[in-house]
């Protein structure tokens, strides 16, 4: 049986209260937070006292006088500390430094030399990037989150398998700990992106959502009742390699007919090649081709429109499957493909999904494009560091102990 | 944000403790229950006191003396009350009366007249069946659970849509409440079967499982961290109508290429017809045909073996998709098709799923046949009634209040 301890509940409530303050953008009152979270006023008061004590929240004074008691306005204290988000991608590492209000303060980008992708090489790049990023603020960093492609074991920080660099069971966290003294949090881009949407995107309004990431690789993150759903070995959401077409196109994973082979960037380019082998839209860089398809569709180009139509047909069928299986409130589409083909692709997808999904769960779901800024992976990685800080026993445990002591001492 | 109140936690722990006692089959000690649930000894002691107070558990005396303190042996008190499980199927209603140890005490079966399937007709049959079943024990019944085909709203007890009888928005619970004074619990057979497996089958050993029901209709129930996963409108698990073959066979739902059209009983019979249109194995009753395929396969009949092989190939692909998406610990296959084609079908399915699923989540999952007795739907329906009784505020709330009073009074 899965156990929830008093500490779990407390941490969960702490997350909820803080998510409500972030969602308010600016400031919020205890009353508004209680309404947004559904928590009792007593619990909210308790959590806020704790967050004020550790300096995560600050009181901004009172709202404009009117009818009723003035309400203390609460806001995130951006100066309480900084969080680092690292997006490790095939060709470049991207580093963002966030203040505690999750505003980007500084960014660094370091290209990856394709000839130097051993773990030691990448560890050196990560260490260098974090050093450049945090130079002036090293003592303010509360934690570092890393989005690591492939299969990741978040607890041990092990890159179990990386599709780009053929890493197997690389103890990445352990290697980094020899160079860095910050708390480290590792997970893959799908999980990171989903955490970003959960805290700062569609998750602010709904508790059950699926985040669909569409770039070269594709995958989903599932949020159930406000929590990231990981499965028993953190592999849940491997939607990209579920079967869409029996004996269909060969996928880069070696299987036939995977979803990714049709709706990932290279799959879409392949659809274009099949329709028009010598199309001028085709570039060596798939991202450029996807952008060219979008621009051509805007001009009414028939081939570009047909590529989007075919892609939406594939996507609609598999999204209908997700609707039937998970019965979520919202499905958010993000990253390269969604950024470029956006509304047009979503229109076809929605129409096809409506036909294939069961009536009732389809009526309950909203399909929408991501509203997050451009890099959900680094924001999500930093969010893991934020969650880690908020779950820190030393910071919050001692507060709780101090309060208990205070209460029990007459 | 999803809220867990102190009452939720308490109820969840109560379920966990009782599940451990059921799993022990016979009797168990506080020490064994603490070990099985992972709950603290204090919590277990607290829950057990409560369950002894209300008469759900009894103490059987102490275990045989040996080294260490003797341990009080606890068992379910079968006489504490009775539960009714009703399986509403297309051609017959099946009623089981369980004691609190979940042993069947009596069963009744009533055929459904295909010409009289209006809600009022079915309500009359249900009322009659429950009357016959409980005649001598009417005052001992704690609750009645009903497995209702199709889409059900458990909270209001509304049959939103029934595929057999073309019911739409039938307020079944309300109609039944005019005839019956027991607490009523309604849900569909997939959810019921999953609850049965969660309490009395594979769920005794694992917290994350998928129950695959294979009969005329097919579907799944998903258990996440020991809880039935329902989705936002209780429609999660509509696996039967996810797409398996693009533009494939027409399904009885009107869509093309659904999973059900290949691995449901009629789909398997169709595969047989396609291979051998005049096969002597074909009977007008699909259940008879499935049994004949099983018997023929045992004799080494090539056509029967090929039907199982093709079915396992379809099933393996879609099961691999479930493994990739949900990353469960166990997948259990049950009902008509699994009962007959059992080990043979599972062998092919496992082999094909191994090829199609991602390596890591497939390594984490066990595929197995159901070990539950023949009717998981009525057992599961009775399990909902058991859960309802265990969540009853009047029974358990007053106990908690009494204890609190006792504790606070010096
Ligand atoms: Zn693949
Ligand atoms: Zn169908």
Residue A63: pLDDT over 70: no
| Chain mean pLDDT for chain A | 90
pLDDT of A400 reads: 52
- Domains B6-76 and B205-369 are alike in CATH topology: no
- Taking only the tens place, the pLDDT of each residue in B119-129 is 999 999 999 99
pLDDT tier at A408 (50, 70, 90 boundaries)? very low
Model confidence pLDDT, tens digit, residues A186-209 = 999 999 999 999 999 998 888 899
Least confident of A123-127, A160-164, B267-271: A160-164
- Please give the pLDDT value at position A164: 76
- B2/A317 touch (CB, cutoff 8 Å), yes or no: no
- Report CB contact under 8 Å: A235, B325: no
Residue of A nearest to B224 (CA): A231
The per-residue pLDDT for B177 is 92
Give the pLDDT mean for B344-366.
Answer: 97
Ligand nearest to the CA of B239: 2
The pLDDT value given to residue B156: 78
Of all residues in chain A, the one with the smallest CA distance to B19 is A1
- Does pLDDT of A399 surpass 60? no
Q: Tell me, what's the pLDDT at A153? A: 83
Q: What is the mean pLDDT of the segment spanning A54-77?
A: 80
How high is the mean pLDDT of chain B? 90
Stretch B373-396: mean pLDDT, rounded? 88
What pLDDT shows up at residue A281?
A: 97
Report angle CA A380, A232, B30 to the nearest 5 degrees.
Answer: 120
The pLDDT tens digits for A348-382 are 999 999 999 999 999 999 999 999 876 899 999 99
**Higher pLDDT, residue B288 or B70:** B288
Least confident of A12-26, A231-245, B63-77: B63-77
Q: What is the mean pLDDT of residues B67-87?
A: 88
* A221 touches A228 (CB < 8 A): yes
Edge-first strand listing for the sheet containing A167-170: A151-153, A158-162, A167-170
Chain B residue with CA closest to A37: the answer is B1
**What is the architecture, at CATH level 2, of domain A205-369?**
2-Layer Sandwich (3.30)
Option in A225, A233, A364 nearest B2 (CB) = A225
Q: Looking at residue B136, what is its pLDDT?
A: 84
More confident residue, B334 or B405: B334
Q: What is the pLDDT of residue B205?
A: 86
Question: How far away, in angstroms, is A214 Cα from ligand 1 center?
Answer: 14
- Position B63 scores a pLDDT of 67
Most confident by average pLDDT, A269-283, B185-199, B378-392: A269-283
CA A215 to ligand 1 center in whole angstroms: 14
How far apart are alpha carbons A313 and A125 in whole angstroms?
Answer: 41
Least confident interval from A44-48, A396-400, B355-359: A396-400
Query: Considering chain B, what percentage of its residues have pLDDT values greater than 90?
Result: 66
pLDDT band at A255 (very low <50, low <70, confident <90, very high): very high
Residue A166 clears pLDDT 90, i.e. is over it: no
Chain B residues whose CB is inside 8 A of the A246 CB are 244-246, 317
Instruction: For residue B364, give how far its alpha carbon lies from the nearest alpha carbon of chain A (Å).
Output: 7
A296-305, B90-99, B174-183, range with greatest mean pLDDT:
A296-305
Q: What is the pLDDT at residue B10?
A: 80
Q: With CB atoms and an 8 Å threshold, state whether A231 touches B328.
A: yes
pLDDT of B409? 38
Please report, for chain A, the start and end positions of each structural domain, with discontinuous segments joined by +: 6-76, 80-193+375-391, 205-369
CATH of A80-193+375-391, one of 3.60.15.10, 3.30.360.10, 3.30.420.40, 3.20.20.70: 3.30.420.40
Q: What is the pLDDT of residue B408?
A: 43
Distance of alpha carbon A247 from alpha carbon A260, whole angstroms: 14
Percent share of chain B, pLDDT over 70: 93
**What is the per-residue pLDDT across B12-60, written as a single tens digit (0 to 9) for each?**
888 888 888 888 877 889 888 888 888 888 889 988 999 999 999 999 8
Residue A4 is predicted with a pLDDT of 57
- Domain at B6-76, CATH class: mainly alpha
pLDDT (0 to 100) of residue B410: 36
**Is residue B85 helix, strand or coil?**
strand
Which residue in B224, B232, B246 is closest to A327 by CB distance? B232
Residue B23: predicted pLDDT? 85
Q: Report the pLDDT value the prediction gives residue A11, as an integer from 0 to 100.
A: 81
Kindly list the residues from chain B whose CB atom is less than 8 angstroms away from the CB atom of residue A226.
1-2
Taking the centre of ligand 1 as the mean of its atom positions, its distance from the CA of residue B357, in whole angstroms, is: 9
């Amino acid at each position: 049986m899965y156990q929830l301890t008093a500490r779990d509940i407390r941490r969960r409530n702490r997350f909820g209260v803080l998510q409500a303050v972030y969602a308010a953008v600016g400031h919020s009152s205890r009353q508004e937070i209680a309404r947004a979270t559904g928590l009792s006023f007593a619990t909210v008061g308790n959590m806020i006292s704790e967050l004020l004590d550790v300096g995560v929240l600050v009181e901004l004074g009172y709202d404009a006088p009117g009818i009723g008691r003035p309400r203390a306005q609460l806001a995130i204290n951006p100066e309480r500390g900084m969080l680092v988000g690292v997006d490790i991608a095939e060709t470049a590492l991207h580093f963002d430094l966030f203040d505690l209000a999750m505003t980007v303060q500084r960014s660094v980008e370091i290209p990856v030399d394709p000839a130097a992708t051993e773990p030691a090489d990448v560890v050196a790049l990560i260490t260098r990037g974090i050093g450049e990023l945090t130079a002036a603020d090293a003592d303010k960093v509360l934690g570092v989150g890393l989005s690591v492609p492939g299969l990741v074991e978040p607890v041990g920080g092990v890159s179990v398998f990386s599709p780009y660099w053929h890493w197997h069971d690389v103890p990445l966290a352990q290697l980094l700990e020899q160079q860095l003294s910050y708390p480290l949090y590792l997970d893959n881009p799908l999980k990171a992106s989903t955490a970003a949407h959960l805290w700062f995107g569609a998750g602010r309004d709904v508790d059950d959502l699926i985040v669909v990431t569409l770039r070269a690789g594709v995958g989903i993150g599932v949020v159930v009742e406000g929590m990231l759903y990981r499965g028993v070995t953190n592999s849940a959401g491997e939607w990209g390699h579920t079967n869409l077409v029996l004996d269909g196109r060969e996928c880069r994973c070696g299987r036939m007919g995977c979803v990714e082979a049709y709706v990932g960037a290279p799959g879409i380019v392949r659809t274009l090649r099949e329709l028009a082998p010598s199309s001028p839209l085709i570039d060596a860089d798939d991202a450029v081709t996807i952008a060219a398809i979008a621009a051509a569709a805007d001009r009414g180009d028939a081939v570009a429109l047909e590529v989007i139509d075919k892609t939406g047909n594939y996507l609609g069928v598999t999204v209908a499957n997700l609707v039937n299986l998970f019965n979520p409130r919202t499905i958010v589409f993000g990253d390269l493909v969604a950024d470029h083909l956006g509304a047009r692709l979503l229109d076809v997808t929605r129409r096809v999904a409506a036909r294939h999904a069961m009536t009732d769960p389809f009526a309950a779901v909203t399909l929408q494009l991501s509203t997050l800024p451009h890099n959900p992976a680094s924001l999500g990685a930093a969010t893991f560091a934020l969650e880690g800080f908020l779950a820190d026993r030393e910071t919050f445990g001692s507060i709780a102990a101090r309060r208990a002591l205070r209460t029990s001492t007459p």
